[in-house]
Structure 1
Amino acid sequence: MKQILDAISAPESTSEDFAHLALPESYRAITVHKDEVDMFEGLTTREKDPRKSLHLDEVPLPELGPGEALVAVMASAVNYNSVWTSIFEPVSTFAFLERYGKLSPLAKRHDLPYHVIGSDLAGVVLRTGAGVNAWKPGDEVVAHCLSVELESPDGHDDTMLDPEQRIWGFETNFGGMAEIALVKTNQLMPKPKHLTWEEAASPGLVNSTAYRQLVSRNGAGMKQGDNVLIWGASGGLGSYATQFALAGGANPICVVSSPQKAEICRRMGAEAIIDRNAEDYRFWKDEHTQDPREWKRFGKRIRELTGGEDVDIVFEHPGRETFGASVYVTRKGGTIVTCASTSGYMHSYDNRYLWMSLKRIVGSHFANYREAWEANRLIAKGKIHPTVSRSYSLEEAGQAAHDVHRNVHQGKVGVLCLAPREGLGVTDPELRAKHIDAINLFRGEG
């Protein structure tokens, strides 16, 4: 590993130098263990602690297949799917690995008694498999997390529709929270040159997800002037939705849960902000009954902030807790676009407000390669910025996932893998200097 890190640190290293590096037989990685899937039985979701289930293990280097790459991971990041994996909800990810392992002899590699997690990375290509032409050893890359086989015609208009579509590091093994990762090369994108390793690693999943959900024609197709309600607007996903709304000429209505989070949204440039805790919105009377009066109160507050207009788009991801309110407050003919259900995936809403007002619910899951590439291109051009609040060492990955699980973080939290410290990897200091305030906006928050 030292030789790999030395080569990455040396500006004069060539592709041939990387191609001739000896690869280690094993590497350090954050894992969950198959024999521990029942360890939290009887506990509530909140009581389940990722620090107990996530392990730092030495694992064997996987076999490299055609169309794949081994990447030295300088940094990764925590996403909510890392939390789900760590608490074995809503199902154990080993069910995904077992199913994938039945697909082919090569896919069988993924069905192991341990799961290397992580759906983000920034790093350097070490090896490429047969048939790879676009990437070579030594390339500095980030990875998006869409893993597809593309042997069915269904995925060739939109790769997200491939029957064998999976999320790398969640539904596949050998993820990014490790010193080395195995990816398909059609997951790779150029690393933004003005960002550090930890900054470059953090946007991948959430930035691409927000792009498809809001901007793409596969999502809401946001346009200039749209009022966009964004739940969790300062969080890992919502912070990118807020940036896309502002950059695209829309009007974000940012819903947050504290004055500190409201202030972050203001610093991003948002003006319409609702602190749902301070204004005490309670959309559920009890576990089984929602309160339409609270939906109406919420809608009235939105119109106060928009000059009397309802929202054109709702950027939904909390799910059960907020979905009834989201359907209600959307304007006639508007769109509720949903990509997650972090508060519960059994949604309940009054369908009269959907069908009689010609509203649409659009499901949006991650992004295809083109959408991920465009989202990364905006990062590379300094139009959209990373939202890293802090970084943890690989040894502290359990604590990082715990903080995301308890929502005590802001923006994204990074995980340093091979990078010995924060602040490394910048090769375009001029572009960085131009955007340094926006890059550092979330630093120290949480």
Structure 2
Amino acid sequence: MDEIVKALLSEDAAPADFAALALPEWYRGNVVRRDETDMFAGMPSAEKDPRKSLHLQEVPTPEPGPGEALVAVMASAINYNTVWSSIFEPLATFGFLERYGRLSELTRRHDLPYHVLGSDLAGVVLRTGPGVNRWKAGDRVVAHCLSVELESADGHGDTMLDPEQRIWGFETNFGGLAELALVKSNQLMPKPEHLTWEEAASPGLVNSTAYRQLVSRNGAGMKQGDNVLIWGASGGLGSYATQLALAGGAHPVCVVSSPEKAEICRAMGAEAVIDRSAEDYRFWKDEQTQDPREWKRFGRRIRELTGGEDVDIVFEHPGRETFGASVYVTRKGGTVVTCASTSGFRHEYDNRYLWMSLKRIIGSHFANYREAWEANRLIVKGRIHPTLSKVYPLEETGQAAYDVHRNLHQGKVGVLALAPEEGLGVRDHELRAKHLEAINRFRPRA
């Protein structure tokens, strides 16, 4: 591994140098273990601690098969799927690995007593398997997290509809919170060269997810002038939705939970910001009963910020806590697009406000390869920027996941893997200088 790191840090290493490197038999990865899936049994979700379930351990290095690539991971990032995996909710991920393992002899490698997590990376290709032509050893890459087989016709109009669609590092093994990672070659995209390793690793999952959910024809199809309500607008997902709305000529209405997070949204260029904690919105009277009066109060506040207009699109991901309000405040004929349920999976809403006002609810899940590529292209061009707020070493991945679980973070939380320190990996210094303030927007407030 020392020789690999030396080559990774060298500006003179050529593709042949990387191809000639000997692969280590073992590497370090952050895992959850099958024999610990009951460790939090009976505990409320908020009390489950990723620092206890995530372990950094040595695991055998997998050999890339047909259409696969082995990547040396310089940096990764935390997503909420890593939190779910680490607290074994809504179920342990080993069931995913078992089902994937039954698919073929090649996928059987994923069904292991440990699960290497992580759905983001920035790094360098070390090896490619048979049939890989686009990528070679030495390529500097980022990876999106869509894993597909594409043996069914269903996936060829939209790869997200492939019956064997999975999220890498969540529903597959050998994820990015490790020194090495195994991916399909069609997960790879060019690294934005004006960014450091840790900055480049942070947008992948959330930027692609926000792009499909908000911009793509498969999502809300946002257009210029749309009013877009964005829940958690300074968070890992919402911060990209806010940027995409602004870049696309829409009018984001940003909902946050503190004055600090409101400041972040204004720094991104948003003018309409609602601090839901300061204004004390309580959409539920108790665990079983919602409060429509609060929906109406929330709707009035939105119209104060939009010149009397309701929102065309609601960018939903909190789920149970907010969904009733989201359906209510959407304009007639508008769209609620949802990609997650971080506050609970069982949504409740008053259907009268949906059907009688011709509103739509669209489910959105990650992004297909084209959407992920387009989202990454915006990063490469400096149109959308990382929202990295804090970076941990690989040894402290549990703490990084804990921060996200307890909502102690803003933007994205990064993890260094083989990169020995922050700030490495930049090649396009001119583009970086042009956007440095935006790139660092989340850092001083970490």
Paired position in structure 1 for 2:313: 313
Counterpart for residue 339 of structure 1: 339
Separation of aligned partners in 2, 1:408 and 1:366: 24
What CA deviation, in whole Å up to 9, does each residue of 1:225-250 have, x standing for no partner?
A: 00000000000000000000000000
Give the Cα separation in 2 of the matches to 1:124 and 1:280: 47
Give 1:250's aligned residue.
Answer: 250
Please state whether the residue corresponding to 1:353 is helix, strand or coil.
helix
Q: 1:180-329, aligned counterparts within 5 Å?
A: 180-329=180-329
- Shift of residue 148, structure 1, vs aligned partner: 0.1
Where in structure 1 do 4 or more consecutive aligned residues deviate above 4 Å? none
Secondary structure of 1:414's match? strand
Do residues 405 (structure 1) and 410 (structure 2) align? no
Secondary structure in 2 matching 1:286: coil
Q: Which amino acid aligns with 2:96?
A: F
Secondary structure of the 1:309 match is coil
What is the letter of the counterpart of residue 136 of structure 1? K
Aligned counterpart, 1:365? 365
Q: Is this contact kept in 2: 1:15–1:137, CA < 8 A? A: yes
Q: Tell me which residue corresponds to 1:394.
A: 394
Equivalent in the alignment of 1:380? 380
Q: Matched residues in 1 for 2:401 and 2:423: separation?
A: 22
Secondary structure, counterpart of 1:163 in structure 2: coil
Give the corresponding residue for 1:53. Answer: 53
Identity score, percent: 81
Q: After the TM superposition, which residues 158-197 of structure 1 pair with which residues of structure 2 at under 5 Å, given as runs?
A: 158-197=158-197
Unaligned runs of 5+ in 2: none
Alpha-carbon offset, residue 8 of structure 1: 1.3
Q: Which residue of 2 aligns with 1:106?
A: 106
Report the secondary structure of 2:200's partner residue.
Answer: helix
Is 2:141 the partner of 1:141?
yes
Pick which of 149-158 and 9-18 moved more. 9-18
Give the conservation status (yes or no) of the 8 Å contact 1:390–1:444. no
State whether residues 68 and 128 of structure 2, in contact with CA within 8 Å, keep that contact through their aligned partners in structure 1: yes
Distance in structure 1 (CA, Å) of the matches to 2:289 and 2:95? 33
Q: Which aligned pairs between 1:149-164 and structure 2 lie closer than 5 A? A: 149-164=149-164
How many Å apart are 1:63 and its aligned residue? 2.5
Supply the distance in 2 between the matched residues of 1:339 and 1:13 (Cα, whole angstroms).
41
Asked if the contact 1:390/1:445 (under 8 Å) is kept, the reply is no
Instruction: Calculate the TM-score normalised by the size of structure 2.
Output: 1.00
Residues 53 and 87 in structure 1, CA contact (< 8 A), matched pair in contact too: yes
Opposite residue 342 of structure 1, the aligned amino acid is: T
SS at match of 1:357: coil
Contact 2:63 2:70 in 1 (8 A): no
Q: Aligned letter for 1:438?
A: A
CA separation in 1, counterparts of 2:101 and 2:6? 35
Q: Match of 1:18?
A: 18
TM-superposition CA deviations, 1:63-115 (whole Å, max 9, x none): 21000000000000000000000000000000100010000011000000000
Alpha-carbon distance in structure 2 between the residues aligned to 1:243 and 1:312: 17
Whole-Å separation in 2 of the counterparts to 1:236 and 1:59? 29
Q: Which amino acid aligns with 2:36?
A: E
Count of residue correspondences: 446
| Superimposed CA distance per residue, residues 201-252 of structure 1 (whole angstroms, 9 cap, x where no aligned partner) | 0000000000000000000000000000000000000000000000000000
1:77-88 superposed matches below 5 A: 77-88=77-88
* Partner Cα separation in structure 1 for residue 11 and residue 55 of structure 2: 34
Could you say what secondary structure the match of 2:255 adopts? Answer: strand
- After superposition, the CA RMSD in angstroms is 0.5
Partner letter of residue 188 of structure 1?
Answer: L
SS where residue 104 of structure 1 aligns?
coil
* Alpha carbons 2:69, 2:184 under 8 Å: kept: yes
CA contact 1:295–1:329 (8 Å) conserved in 2: yes
Question: What is the CA–CA distance in structure 2 between the aligned matches of 1:445 and 1:28, rounded to whole Å?
Answer: 31
- Structure 1 segments unaligned to the other structure (5+ residues): none
How far apart in 2 are the matches of 1:265 and 1:359?
27
Deviation readout 1:265-310 (Å, 9 max, x if unpaired): 0000000000000000000000000000000000000000000000
In the alignment, what sits opposite 2:28? 28
Q: SS of the residue aligned with 2:16?
A: helix
Match of 2:435 in 1: 435
CA distance in 1: counterparts of 2:86 and 2:9, whole angstroms: 32
SS of residue in 1 equivalent to 2:214: helix
CA distance in 1, matches of 2:214, 2:106: 36
**Partner SS, residue 289 of structure 1:** coil
SS in 1 for 2:301: helix
2:62 is matched with which residue?
Answer: 62
Matched residue, 2:41: 41
The answer to whether structure 1 residue 95 and structure 2 residue 95 are counterparts is: yes
